[in-house]
């Protein structure tokens, strides 16, 4: 009797689909082939890394002891521009090394200088003295360079070099003062130099 009941249930299950799909009136495409667009959006990204160090040069040194320090690629150039034998301008240089940087789109290499050179906090009407000592800037990133004299820069950023592709690699900022036959004023000579990689949007 049990065998008969199980057999009847099995036959009933096979013969009568539960909640069968209603296929009448369905429509179809041309084939069984789907084409799909898959996409993702990536924002522009130009940033310096955090593995940054100062490097000594002739009569100068650089370090990371300014503002955000190594974490923000900020630092200082400490230059000895005084020739102690005659008080004229002596050559000096130093370099700030940026271990790695990334720009994931075309970008501009830009520079800015608050004073257009090392500006003295003193002044005189005697032309034998120099009140603003210009310096050369070499800003390099992954084989691309932006070179400019400080007296050709202004407070606002100037685009020195445009790069039409994404790049990643090491960078540096080098500052060099040339010797000059002019006397230096007692006090401090200073400037604020800025170097930037700016995405072309």
Summarised one tens digit per residue, pLDDT across range 56-99 is 999 999 999 999 999 999 999 999 999 999 999 999 999 999 99
Owner of token pair 């050369």: 136
For residue 32, the model assigns a pLDDT of 96
The top-level CATH class assigned to 47-199 is mainly beta
Average pLDDT of the chain, as a whole number: 93
Q: What are the Cα distances from residue 126, in Å, to 80, 129, 130, 186?
A: 23, 6, 9, 14
What is the CB-side half-sphere exposure of residue 142 using CA atoms within 13 A?
Answer: 14
The domain segmentation of the chain, as residue ranges, is 47-199
Residue 1 has pLDDT above 70, yes or no: no
Residue 11 has pLDDT above 60, yes or no: no
Do residues 112 and 193 lie in contact, with contact meaning Cβ atoms separated by under 8 Å? yes
Q: What tokens does 94 get?
A: 């130093």
Summarised one tens digit per residue, pLDDT across range 24-54 is 999 999 999 999 999 999 999 999 999 999 9
Summarised one tens digit per residue, pLDDT across range 118-162 is 999 999 999 999 999 999 999 999 999 999 999 999 999 999 999
* Residues 6 or more apart in contact with residue 109 via CB below 8 angstroms: 139, 141, 144, 145, 146, 159, 160, 161, 162, 163, 195, 196, 197
């Amino acid at each position: 009797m049990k065998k008969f009941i199980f057999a009847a249930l099995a036959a009933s299950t096979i013969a009568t689909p539960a909640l069968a799909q209603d296929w009448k009136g369905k429509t179809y495409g041309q084939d069984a082939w789907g084409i799909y667009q898959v996409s993702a959006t990536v924002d522009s990204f130009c940033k310096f890394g955090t593995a940054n160090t100062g490097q000594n040069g002739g009569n100068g040194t650089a370090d990371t002891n300014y503002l955000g320090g190594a974490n923000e690629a900020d630092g200082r150039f400490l230059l000895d521009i005084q020739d102690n034998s005659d008080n004229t301008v002596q050559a000096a240089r130093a370099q700030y090394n940026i271990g790695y940087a990334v720009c994931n789109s075309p970008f501009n290499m830009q520079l800015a200088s608050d004073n257009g050179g090392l500006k003295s906090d003193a002044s005189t009407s005697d032309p034998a003295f120099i009140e603003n000592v210009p310096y050369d800037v070499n800003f390099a990133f992954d084989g691309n360079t932006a070179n400019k004299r400080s007296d050709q820069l202004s407070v606002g950023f100037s685009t020195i070099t445009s790069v039409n592709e994404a790049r990643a690699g090491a960078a540096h900022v080098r500052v060099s003062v040339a010797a000059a036959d002019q006397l230096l004023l007692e006090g401090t000579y200073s400037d604020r130099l800025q170097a930037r990689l700016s995405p072309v949007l």
